[in-house]
Structure 1
């Protein structure tokens, strides 16, 4: 599936870029007086020996026109393509996002390498097109790594199922407690409502946790925003726990104030613990989102 290939490519993109940069820098001289078209072509021949399954290799001049082996510029200009202007802008080897070719429509990625003379003037941009599947196979992890990754996915999936069952159990128990409280409306017991709210709140917290684990570790979603997703999940999970503990402490205050006043100090301790958790969560949110804003 193309969507799966794109997700895999996003994971191995930096490894592929490092490998392509290595090939370019080892075989094509840069910032040298001897840098010319002949030397670049010789370097390309060496690269062809390393990568046999490439889609296309071509050279662009400083203005983005494709040039032939004898140095004659073709009529087609690629200065508006990402593989040209990104390489020129960055001044180093780059690799593009997958895009469909105009001929066959299949997805390819392009590795580009700007070539400069001794005066740091751009003279060529060397481009290598790789089919998406070829690019993935070049930087694909070993079979052992894939095996370990599959085991990890399986364990996360199993844990997600177990936590989902716990979530359903809490939800059913909370809903049943709420139903019982409504059934005895004339003899209304506030404890039943508090217990139902606590159980439903914990079910919500566990559901958020399961959702984040399953999407991130099993489905592989949000790979680029893992830190942000983790922060949001942590805040929601801890927030739900704090709400549940706050309700429990409130229930204990009412209970001890009415029936056992000598034990109300324990409820105060619990309120103090909830307050500490709330302060800690506030500090976490402040610094976490401050760092995120600085990164943006």
Structure 2
């Protein structure tokens, strides 16, 4: 379960755009205060950290004057420390969060963009602050870590905390599977060498190579299972709330099993046929039939799962 790629973040953002905008609007409406323009750096930091205790996805705070010039240094939250508190005096009048805020009295939220500070996808929410006489005092801007905000909305923040431990456990299991596959490969190689020796030595009976094929097939199946586990649970990001991710994982695991069982059934047929044990061929045929039924069941699962997800997405879009 790796970190969300930018593609995954954008995809989830499109699904939860309205809810995210509502959340950020309520946060900044309650947080923004004209008194912030009179506070020093330490006071701003303390105020931001108190906000982050409830909303840990807020990464940065800064203040702009009426002309879009930054009048405070960047204030990082306690969860997203920046290497230096910079930004004071920078002209941000050409930035979307300033232009949008100056055009309305409400909270505005930008589209996602790549943060120059943290190199992560983020968005900015801002609000124009006016004085009693109606003149513009400035603009308050909050930078939001988009991936963390989406995890917060989905209630996934606590699972992300334990994710490194999950990765260690899955990596240990995968390592064990790879060791077993390597052991079977070595045994298969040893059996193959014995067959080669019996072929080159005179007056020796040539061994039937079914043992070698069985060892190599098992090694292939176990290696493929370990590879699938490594990709699905360690290297790739998997959104457990999205049905397509779960369906992809189940499909890959069942496919590995189907391939391994099919090969074993064919080997049984060849072995029984060559050894004159035709009465046992029916057992292998039953295994092939069971494999075919498993393949049909997998196809039905994938089809119904995709239709169910399409219906859910349709309902979400309508609401």
Q: Same fold (TM over 0.5)?
A: yes
Mark the CA change 1:136 to 1:209 in structure 2 (over 3 Å): closer, same or farther.
closer
- Is 1:110 equivalent to 2:128 in the alignment? no
Matches within 5 A, 1:1-296: 17-23=21-27, 44-45=33-34, 52-53=47-48, 54-56=61-63, 78=94, 81=96, 94-97=109-112, 99-100=114-115, 109-112=123-126, 128-131=140-143, 149-185=160-196, 186=199, 187=206, 188-216=208-236, 221=237, 228=244, 230-257=246-273, 258-288=275-305
Deviation at 1:180, TM superposition (A): 2.0
**Which segment drifts farther, 152-161 or 281-290?**
281-290
Q: Separation in 2 of the partners of 1:209 and 1:106? A: 29
| Number of aligned residues | 240
- Normalized against structure 2, the TM-score is what? 0.53
Q: Separation in 2 of the partners of 1:164 and 1:170? A: 10
- CA-based RMSD: 5.3
Q: Separation in 1 of the partners of 2:167 and 2:222? A: 20
- Normalized against structure 1, the TM-score is what? 0.56
Q: Which has the higher contact order (CA 8 A, sep 6+)?
A: 2
Q: 2:254–2:298: 8 Å Cα contact kept in structure 1?
A: yes
Q: 1:83–1:94: 8 Å Cα contact kept in structure 2?
A: no
Q: Separation in 2 of the partners of 1:19 and 1:57? A: 22
Q: Separation in 1 of the partners of 2:255 and 2:151? A: 40
Mark the CA change 1:137 to 1:283 in structure 2 (over 3 Å): closer, same or farther.
closer
